[in-house]
Amino acid sequence: MSSYTTPPPSPYGTTSSGLTTEDRNLGTIAHVTPLVLMLVSGGLAGFIGSLVVYLYAKDRGAAARRYAAGALNVQISVAIAAAISWVLIIVLIGFITLPLVMLFGIVVHAVGALNANKGEPFDPPLTIRFVS
């Protein structure tokens, strides 16, 4: 006879943070997809990845929507800063600011993916909230 009074918790249900595995996975995908596309395309296709993941995840739950919106906001902010940096290349300042903008996007997406995977909330720093 078993000494358990209740069955052990399922490893596939909700986590200690209250998020389902699907929410955590979608949050991780929302940040990893634009990160990979940014690296492969030199920063041009990350926005497309963020938009596709947002359109897919926006109706999947509040947490998945929040992570996807955060990733899309990072990409929009990075795109604006990169456009400004391209203009500033004329006066040679853009050669410094453009790599910094790309590095910022990489770091924020990496941290966002790690937080999403752990089920922790993540509010991207230094980004403008275009999508909520």
Burial of 127 by CB count in 10 Å (0-12 exposed, 13-18 middle, 19+ buried)? buried
For position 1, what pLDDT does the model report? 52
Report the Cα–Cα distance between both ends of the chain, in Å, rounded: 52
**pTM of the complete model:** 0.83
For residues 61-95, one letter each, b for 16 or more C-beta atoms within 10 angstroms of the residue's C-beta and e for the rest, the string is bebbbbbbbbbbbbbbbbbebbeebeeeeeeeebe
5-49: pLDDT as tens digits: 654 555 555 555 678 999 999 999 999 999 999 888 877 788 899
